[in-house]
Amino acid sequence: MVPESTHCKKFDVLRRQLDLVDAGAKFFSDLFERAPEAMVVIDTTGRVLAANASACQLYAVDQSELVRLRLQDLLPRELDVAGAAQRLRDFGEASLEFSETGKDGGLIDMRLEARLFQAGRYLVSFRDITREKRFERELERAHEHRTFAEAAATVVHDVNNLLVPIFCYTDLLALRQPDDEELHRSVAEIRDAAQRAASLARKLLSIAELTAERPDVVRMNEVVSQMKEMLTRLVGSRIEVSLRLDPALGAIKVDRERLERLVLNLVLNARDAMSTGGSLVIETFAGSHDVRRGSGGGPGARRYAMLAVTDSGVGMDDSTRARIFEPFFTTKSRQGGTGLGLAMVLSFVSRNQGFIDVDSRPGGGTTFRVGFPALREPKNES
């Protein structure tokens, strides 16, 4: 006969095991219910067996209504799910992306991911990827803008090469016949036509900027912070991106979109200079700069909000650094065609009473520093 104490011990062990199972089930139930992503559980026919609070909020219905639906009812009617369903049956997981109309009438980009987690049951999550898609579109526009700028710079370079001998030979003709007024009038007409051609070439560069500027009060820290995710995706996993932002940095008045393009352009150049990977540091700080003297202080110095982009790339020699802002200068040997957008960067900075300079040496990386006049912050009344 088994002693009663032995039965009690076995019962206690079993009870503790059941308590652990109950605690684990409650933990995962709470995790499912409180998950920030919308989640539902479906069976092999697509019928919804359970839904969490985020799913109810996403579809603006309570749980009792959701569990009477099928997964297809939660997706746009025109969405083809046959391929994803087959992958789910074959491999136990599948994903697809789709767009639907949100509560405010705008389009929301969604990503659906489904996985088998029990026999005959699948966990399906819905994630809002609208922001990621927007970053991808901005990145695509940045690449398109850069391609157009490169094409414009190439054309302007060719036009400039044609204009140089025209100016030279008209000057020689005028010198050879100093007393021939008719010749001088003809030469002047030729030069005038050449000047108009040069003006058209400069306008071609400005076309790459597409729209008129709309200056507004902008905080550089905010712009850079909001771009970090996109910039990290832009440079790739081999390049480490870090921000060092001065919390006390003042505001500036520029076109926000153009400022974003400026940051993108500098980061593109940095990325191309680090083909094997490296580090990219973007920092902001307040400083003084005397534009007339190119120095950091003195009685003529103004207060600037500064942006610095530093890479650990291949760097530049003195002759390259001296020409990088020329609209006609292109480094064909460098993969990716870096530097072709810097003429527009310089143009934007100059139009906004700012400055830009660069420190670089071969093998020692490059730092671009851009400064815009800082707005005076209103003093708090005590």
Domain endpoint, select from 166, 188, 207: 207
59: tokens are: 């579809």
358 and 258 in a common domain: yes
Q: How far, in Å, CA of 249 to CA of 306, rounded? A: 8
Q: Are residues 54 and 153 in the same domain?
A: no
Does a structural domain hold residue 47? yes
* Residues 50 and 174 reside in one and the same domain: no
Whether 249 is in a domain gets the answer: yes
We report the CATH number of the domain holding residue 66 as 3.30.450.20
On whether both 45 and 161 belong to a single domain, the answer is no
Among 106, 128, 150, identify where a domain stops: 128
Partner residues linked to 308 by β-bridges? 283, 369
Q: Identify the residue whose tokens are 């010198």.
A: 175
Question: Is 23 within the bounds of a domain?
Answer: no
- Give me the DSSP letters along 47-91: BEEEE-HHHHHHHT--HHHHTTSBGGGGS-TT---HHHHHHHHHH
In whole angstroms, how large is the CA radius of gyration of the chain? Answer: 32
Side-chain-side CA neighbours of 344 within 13 Å: the count stands at 28
- Let me know whether 58 and 150 are in one domain: no
Query: What predicted TM-score, i.e. pTM, was given to this entire model?
Result: 0.47
Q: State whether 287 and 189 are in the same domain.
A: no
- pLDDT by position in tens, the chain (length 382): 555 556 566 556 666 665 555 555 565 666 767 777 888 888 988 888 888 888 888 777 888 888 888 888 888 888 888 888 888 888 889 888 888 776 666 678 888 999 998 888 899 888 888 888 877 777 776 666 666 666 776 777 777 778 878 878 887 887 877 778 888 888 888 888 888 887 777 666 665 554 457 889 999 999 999 989 888 888 888 999 999 999 999 899 998 988 988 998 899 889 989 988 999 999 999 987 654 444 444 444 578 999 999 999 999 988 888 888 875 555 544 444 434 468 778 878 988 989 999 999 999 999 999 999 998 765 554 4
Q: Which of 69, 102, 128 is the last residue of a domain?
A: 128
Q: Are residues 93 and 141 in the same domain?
A: no
**Which residues, including other chains, have CB under 8 Å from residue 227's CB and lie 6 or more apart?**
260, 263, 264
- Split into its structural domains, the chain has a count of 3
**Domain contains 25:** no
C-alpha–C-alpha distance, residues 71 and 327, integer Å: 56
Range of the domain at 119: 35-128
